A = this chain, B = another copy of it.
Amino acid sequence: MLGGMGALATADFYRRLVQRTPAGSDQAHLPVLVWADPAVPDRTAALLGEGPSPVPALAEGARWLQRAGVSCIAVPCNTAHAYVEQLSGATGAGVLDMIRAALETAARRVHGLERVGVLATRGTRLTGLYERAGARLGLDVVQVPASVQEEYVDAAIRAVMGGADPTGPERWIATAAESLQGQGDQAVVAACTEIPLVSGAAARVLPLVDSTDALAEAAVARLWRPTSGVRTGERIG
C-alpha cells in the first residue's frame, strides 16, 4: 500500500481491506506492507502546475515495497492515479485501478446506470481519469459546477485532511450530492479517499459508491483465495 495521501484515508483503507477479507481466523488475513509518507508532494498542486511532481517520492515507496516482494500495489488516493502510468513505467510495479473499481461498483449497484456524478479533488477533475474510465464502461461521468467544487468539495477535503470536526464537511458533501442529483445523476462516486469519511449524509441523497471500499474489494478479489482457508502467499503493498 502506498499511503499517506491522506493519513486518515490510508488507515480507513486498511480497515476496509481487513473487513472485506472473508478470513475465518486471524492467520488467514492478507499480509500487508504499507509505505505512508505524508510528505509526498500534493497531487492536485502538481497537476495544477503549482508544485513538484509526486512521482519520485511514490517511486521510492514502490521500490521499497517491491524489494519486500509485494505482488501488487494499492494506492488509496484517487488523484495519485494520474501518476500511476509514470509510476509503473519507472518501477515496473503493478498497481490496482481504483478509478475503474469505483465505476464498476457503481454500475453493479445501480441497474441501468448511465449518468454518474463524481465528487473529487480539482486535480482528479483536471486529469479526466473518471471521464475516460467511464467512457470505456459506457457511463457518462458528471462533475459538480465549479462553484460547488470550491465551496463544498474542496473545503470538505481540506477539513478532513486537517483533522477538523466532521460536522461541517458532512453537510457540504451532502450539498454537493444534492447538486449532482439536481443535474439528473443516478449515483455518486466519493472519488477522493477523504470523502467517504464524511459521506454519511450524502448517501441518503443518492446511491453512493465509496472509492476506498471499491479498491479494498478489488484488492481482496485479486489476492485472497479461500482454498482451505490458506492465503495465496501474495503480499499487498
Contact = CB atoms under 8 A, between A and B. Distances in A.
Copies of this protein, total? 2
Nearest to A68: B64
Interface in A14-61: 14-15, 17-19, 21-39, 42
A166 B231 CA distance: 24
Interface stretch (A5-13, A103-111, A132-140, A203-211): A5-13
Q: Which of A6, A26, A163 gathers most chain B CB within 10 Å?
A: A26
Given A18-B7, A19-B163, A23-B7, A38 B29 contact: yes
B33 A36 contact: yes
A28 B23 contact: no
Contacts of A33: 34-36
A162 interface: yes
Given A4-B32, A15-B15, A36-B33, A24 B231 contact: no
A161 interface: yes
Contacts of A3: 32
A108 to B, nearest CB: 23
A11 B18 contact: yes
A157 B12 CA distance: 22
Query: Closest 9 interchain pairs by CB?
Result: A34-B34, A26-B161, A7-B29, A11-B15, A29-B38, A6-B26, A11-B14, A7-B18, A32-B36
12 contacts: A4-B29, A4-B32, A6-B29, A7-B23, A8-B15, A8-B18, A22-B163, A24-B163, A27-B42, A33-B35, A35-B68, A39-B231
